[in-house]
Amino acid sequence: MDGLWDISKLKNHILEEMKNHIIENIKPQINEDNTDKAWWTGDKRFTVKSAFNNLRRRRMEQEWVQEIWTKGLPFKIAFFHWRVWKRRNATDANLKRMRLQVVSKCYC
């Protein structure tokens, strides 16, 4: 529990390709010596949420996130803004890039 993963335990519970996906994309810190350590927070209470928050890697908060996810802004508008920012809005160019058929144009 010192923030490192024991990869050998992953193969007992999930498919090999899922394990490889986790290692390649999530890039967990791997526990090389396979030792676990007890670790409690200051209030001596354990919750899954507190364990998750203590183990996960925090990213630097970016200013644009606060602009998009503004309190009081309807979710569908915030989600649309997020899709535009990530270039995931459903324009013909993006649909074609994602290899989806574009029905608004005929390439005959």
pLDDT(52) > 50: yes
pLDDT(34) > 70: no
Q: For residue 53, give the nearest of 65, 63, 66, 39 by alpha carbon.
A: 39
What span, in angstroms and rounded, lies between the C-alpha atoms of 52 and 1?
A: 11
The domain segmentation of the chain, as residue ranges, is 7-55, 63-97
Say whether 15 sits in a helix, a strand or coil.
coil
Q: What is the pTM of this model?
A: 0.37
pLDDT(87) > 50: yes
Handedness of CA 9, 32, 56, 65 (dihedral sign): negative
Banded model confidence at residue 104, pLDDT cuts 50, 70, 90: low
Residue scoring higher pLDDT (99 or 104) = 99
Residue 42 per-residue DSSP state: T
What span, in angstroms and rounded, lies between the C-alpha atoms of 100 and 108?
A: 17
